[in-house]
Structure 1
């Protein structure tokens, strides 16, 4: 009896002290890390994160999420590796490039996909260029070198007999592209929403980069390190459950997206009602995501085939 009482006393002490048998802190809900920082770009792609926040979906899982605005998925990788971020919004091209270089990372959720009209090559209204074929020898602005934008442009140019090596890519943040074109710093720019809508009528569409081989191309995902996944399985599962419910809301009702986007971005209510939105996938489909890696191999971004299944934790 004394032995039983002693064991129960130790268990109670551990519980009241917020520690497990190993002495490591645990949350009331059993999560390894009940407060996490999640990086997100201030664009429509990340709507599910803020829907989950507004609807209390994270709270229902015993999880507190602190959103952190980032400038790009590739730039956020060092923050994830250092622990400054737990999970981050990223694009598939940057993620697969990092994995090909040996980075131990995992995709833990699908986020956003392209539809026609959501990622366009734009030129000034008075530009002499009339089609993508006219871009040979020209300068194109992209938000990141070796990015999903450059890959989509390469695929578009191939369709009109131009190689990516015949154009010059220059890196420029989306908000600065319209002014750069107006100043004659480049001939075309690769823009996504809300910048496509916001820059018209000053700019016009030269080519849609999300048709043909890039139609419905997966664009963005949630990513973290392999080590974080192993250390925090319950926390990850809680995040995935909450973000999954929010993703279904975003996919099923545009009004949910329109309501939340102005709360975390510079897109106001009037503008968000006009922009064209991509898709909000509700599952992490390896076959679908593999298309990105295969395109990257075709255009020389990857030196050897990459099986994405090993990178997905859905």
Structure 2
């Protein structure tokens, strides 16, 4: 993520420190039966103010949720470390998540389900960047350096580690430190880090404002087209609200198809819920917006996590995916 900002995103926190409650996760408010026989007429959905969840806002603007008899209330989240407990407590019904954090949570016994896809990496959407006058010219030069990431042990560190390995280095050859995407450029300029793993719109912003340059695109080779982010709910919520979930899935899939086929729809939506202005929205590099959640692609993330010891044993991601409206 993938992208923000507490990002791409693409950007969601390490789940290792979470102490999720064991309550049922039945929903954000008492159930109120709605049109079309929905178990809940209104749901709260967590999302980051970044390009990844743009389909949520396209669906709102186009009336796709309304067509399903569903009212969706977007809730701005700061990252997975906050969103995971929120769906467990019922403060949120569904939330944005990055897949590394979700798979890590599942490996620790968290009862979650992935309910829809959101964002997939594309070239030049997640980059390792350095100041223009930095002596660092390539990934191999990062040995002994500090690399800023939005969160530890999530998609950021995994993506950087794959590039380190390709350059003959390991994860322990660098020091990772956390810094929110919006603060990363200034932090590196101030000497708090030597390089940063950065996503849009901050790639474009740091190039234009600070003259940063890219030393590596982290979504190439084995991480090309890597699934980054999706929508998540608790297993209990999915079981208790099958018609509501199906309505959400249909509307989101329709909006994802629109985003995928017409960039102008994305550009129009971004300024409505992010700090990205229209000029920047037209300039940034975007990833893909899949309309279906494909287990084969997602398995690639779990397999990379096993290889780099983010999880201790293999995970079949099919067990984490909630059924689509078509079964």
The one-character-per-residue Cα deviations of 1:84-141 (angstroms, maximum 9, x if unpaired) are 0000010000000000000000000010000110000010111000000001111000
For residue 295 of structure 1, the aligned residue among 289, 304, 309 is 304
- C-alpha displacement at 1:256, in angstroms? 0.6
Q: TM-score, normalised by structure 1?
A: 0.91
Structure 1's consecutive aligned runs of 4 or more residues displaced over 4 angstroms after TM superposition are: none
For residue 90 of structure 2, the aligned residue among 80, 83, 88 is 83
- C-alpha displacement at 1:68, in angstroms? 0.5
1:252 aligns with 2:261: yes
Residue of structure 1 equivalent to 2:105? 98
1:199 aligns with 2:176: no
| Kept after mapping to 1: 8 A contact 2:128/2:195 | yes
| Kept after mapping to 2: 8 A contact 1:135/1:167 | yes
SS of the aligned residue for 1:213 comes to: helix
- C-alpha displacement at 1:66, in angstroms? 0.3
The one-character-per-residue Cα deviations of 1:4-62 (angstroms, maximum 9, x if unpaired) are xxxxxxxxxxxxxxxxxxxx752232110110000001111111000000000000100
Distance 1:162 1:57, change over 3 A: same
For residue 42 of structure 2, the aligned residue among 35, 47, 50 is 35
| Kept after mapping to 2: 8 A contact 1:74/1:90 | no
- C-alpha displacement at 1:75, in angstroms? 2.5
| Kept after mapping to 1: 8 A contact 2:98/2:155 | yes
Residue of structure 1 equivalent to 2:23? none
| Kept after mapping to 1: 8 A contact 2:34/2:70 | no
| Kept after mapping to 2: 8 A contact 1:90/1:223 | yes
For residue 137 of structure 1, the aligned residue among 144, 161, 165 is 144
SS of the aligned residue for 2:137 comes to: coil
Mapping for residues 276-295 of structure 1, pairs under 5 Å: 276-295=285-304
Q: Give distance in 2, aligned partners of 1:27 and 1:273.
A: 38
Unaligned regions of 5+ residues in structure 1, if any?
1-23
For residue 122 of structure 1, the aligned residue among 125, 129, 144 is 129
Unaligned regions of 5+ residues in structure 2, if any?
1-30
For residue 311 of structure 1, the aligned residue among 300, 320, 323 is 320
SS of the aligned residue for 1:219 comes to: strand
Mapping for residues 179-258 of structure 1, pairs under 5 Å: 179-201=186-208, 202=210, 203-258=212-267
The one-character-per-residue Cα deviations of 1:153-202 (angstroms, maximum 9, x if unpaired) are 00011000010111111011000000100100100000000000011142
| Kept after mapping to 2: 8 A contact 1:118/1:193 | yes
- C-alpha displacement at 1:72, in angstroms? 1.1
| Kept after mapping to 1: 8 A contact 2:32/2:41 | no
Distance 1:70 1:25, change over 3 A: closer
Which structure is larger by alpha-carbon Rg, 1 or 2? 1
Q: TM-score, normalised by structure 2?
A: 0.88
| Kept after mapping to 2: 8 A contact 1:34/1:63 | yes
Residue of structure 1 equivalent to 2:120? 113
Residue of structure 2 equivalent to 1:49? 56
**Number of matched residues?**
291
Q: Give distance in 2, aligned partners of 1:281 and 1:72.
A: 21
